[in-house]
Chain A
Amino acid sequence: MRRDIFQAIADPTRRAIIALIALQAMTPNALAEHFDTTRQAISKHLKILTECEVVKQEHHGREILYQLELNKIKEIDQWLEQFRKIWESRYKQLDQLLLTIKKKK
């Protein structure tokens, strides 16, 4: 199974987890309180998020806190930026073509 940022955010519960821990690092128990699902289900999502390297664990005494890997989240924006450049480039060419057609008329 693929383990990357896109797999991480493909699921609505995982997106919600990301949104919550973006605000502050949380324990699995604290996270589970926000969801109408089992603690096991949350743990499974956290496992996937960890494998996708979107979250990392931090040990505080006996507690495990989950926190966001900000650099990983930025990856999405980086590839979207590439996509944006493709559209910009394409449209600059259309600008040029429109200008050429208008000059001919």
Chain B
Amino acid sequence: MMNNNLQFDFIADKEKNTLTVRREFLANRQLVWDCYTKSELLDQWFAPAPLTTKTKSMDFREGGHWHYAMVDPTGTEYWGYTEYLTIHPIDYYTSTDAFSNEAGDINQDMPRAEWRVSFSDKEENAVVETIVTYKSLADMEQVIEMGMEQGMQATLEKLDTLLLTLTGKSNA
């Protein structure tokens, strides 16, 4: 089973409206970079279970985009549109996220956040640091509420139970 000692930091700064997530992976930096920047790989992990990811189009370059859907078990699609701002392989990229529709029109009523995703080495492993900056704390809350509406809450509890069974111990 997975090594449970991998670094995982989750820091919410309620004054700066940022969320910092730092995570170590048992792979080299190039491989982890690929998993973030190639749609066929992103499709295999980006949406948290039980949602799945479906890419409509991706153009990973500065000024390019990733247009994708998260699909729930009933088949309902939640569309997202990420615009890439700066890309420095395999160190970092910055992007702006958005809720959209299947046509790729950005939903202006939903908050957008700035992402800075940095990759570094930790011995033979890679560490990814994601800093998500929201315009306000209320924006951050709205995004999370949206996630909850997508049925994640109940299923995450199921996932917890499943993980507990799989690993045979608590990760509390």
Q: Does more than half of chain A's interface fall in helix, strand or loop, or is it mixed?
A: helix
Q: Which one of B26, B46, B144 lies within 8 Å of A83 (CB-CB)?
A: B144
Q: Give chain B residues whose Cβ lies under 8 Å from the Cβ of A79.
A: 141, 144
Minimum CB–CB distance for B162 against chain A, Å: 10
Q: Does more than half of chain B's interface fall in helix, strand or loop, or is it mixed?
A: mixed
Within 8 A of B (CB), among A3-56: 6-7, 9-10, 12, 15
Q: Is the Cβ of A89 less than 8 Å from the Cβ of B156? A: yes
* Chain B residues touching A, range: 35 or more
Interface residue tally for chain A (C-beta within 8 Å): 30
Q: Is the Cβ of A88 less than 8 Å from the Cβ of B8? A: yes
The verdict on B110 contacting chain A, using a C-beta distance below 8 Å, is no
Q: Give chain B residues whose Cβ lies under 8 Å from the Cβ of A96.
A: 2, 45
The verdict on B23 contacting chain A, using a C-beta distance below 8 Å, is yes
Minimum CB–CB distance for B106 against chain A, Å: 22
The verdict on B113 contacting chain A, using a C-beta distance below 8 Å, is no
Q: Is the Cβ of B49 less than 8 Å from the Cβ of A93? A: yes
Chain A residue with minimal CB distance to B26? A98
List, sorted by A's number, 25 A–B pairs whose CB atoms are closer than 8 Å: A6-B138, A7-B138, A9-B137, A12-B15, A83-B144, A85-B156, A85-B159, A85-B160, A86-B48, A87-B10, A88-B8, A90-B48, A91-B25, A92-B2, A93-B44, A93-B48, A94-B45, A95-B2, A95-B26, A96-B45, A97-B41, A98-B25, A98-B32, A102-B27, A102-B31
